[in-house]
Structure 1
Amino acid sequence: MPFTLVGPCEYREEIRKSRFITLAAPIASAADAHAFLEQHSDLNATHNCWAWKLADQYRSNDDGEPGGTAGRPILAAIEAQAFDQVVVLVIRWYGGIQLGTGGLARAYGGGANKCLQQADRILLINRVPLNFDCSFSELAMVKLRLAELNGLVTDEAFTANGVQLQVSLGPEHLDILQRQLADLSRGRIVLQRQPSE
């Protein structure tokens, strides 16, 4: 069973005078991964190497380190611990001592491993993306019903007439939520599946 992170985490270490900071976070899309990398990469560092995995999509980058010594070991650390929907960034400040290709792979993969090992994780539940509208007065009860079914609010937009919600929910709970929301709104709230990207 795959896991994802509860929230962002960090691990720091020094290896032969090079400083390494590993940052990891949960993601829901490739855009989330790119936003995280853009926000946390340090342009003053020697290298910003990374990897992310999202179901069957994955990417990695060595950022100037010898090919295969950074991005792939980071990705291997993600997969070895059964993580999914995760991005990992390892930032290195060169300390003047060469680590060699094996040393680099151990440093990047090891930092990613240690960061993920100490992180809070949750079992990844397969959820279906949905959207619907509700009134302002229904919002609190809608969120309560969703939380009871282990669903997530992924986006909400307030309009003049109410709230447009995007949520994700386990497929086994769809009928229950639809019934509850129909009862709550006298049949006005109808769940709609979001088109897959």
Structure 2
Amino acid sequence: MALPASPKPLRADAERTVRAILEAAERVLSENPAAPMERIAEAAGVARTTVHRRFASREALITALATWATQQFHEAVEAARPDTAPPAVALYQATANVLRVKVSWGFAMGAFPTDAPEVARVHAEVTARCAQLFTRLREDGLLRPDTDPDWARRVYYALIHEAAAEAPDTDADVDALATRVVDTLLHGLGTRPAP
């Protein structure tokens, strides 16, 4: 998982420090969104000056955190191979992968800054990949022929959001939630009329 791009590449030790700060920021800000930079530095095991040297402001830290989480979100979708795997397999794998990111990086996933170009670019790319997957699901008969893929994708996002709110503890819990999301999307909640 790559760290947010910076003007010049970081040395390995500096990259580890930035990662420790971002991971600490996620933990601390998930518990208290108003926590000061000093608390994040303490949780990361670094000096406050180190955090300020890497991130000029609290907003810069949150933007970096959101950018990093967005990149992980992108990687989660790409790992499901939405354009080459069988559509049902890709849907399930993307669901499980994205749930893991949303649970692990809940604060960051909710902190998408609207003015961060990299976040917007990656988010648009993920949306396009999901749109392709939903078109494939419809073409393969997993969604009704009259299904609007955009509407289905938006319903899917809402299902994932609700599933992530359950904060599953284990991979088995995430897998069970992914199965529930996919089953709800593809089969709904109502009973089928008798033939």
Structure 1 length as normaliser, TM-score?
A: 0.29
TM-score normalised by structure 2 residue count: 0.29
Which one has a larger percent helix, Structure 1 or Structure 2? 2
Structure possessing the higher radius of gyration over alpha carbons: 1
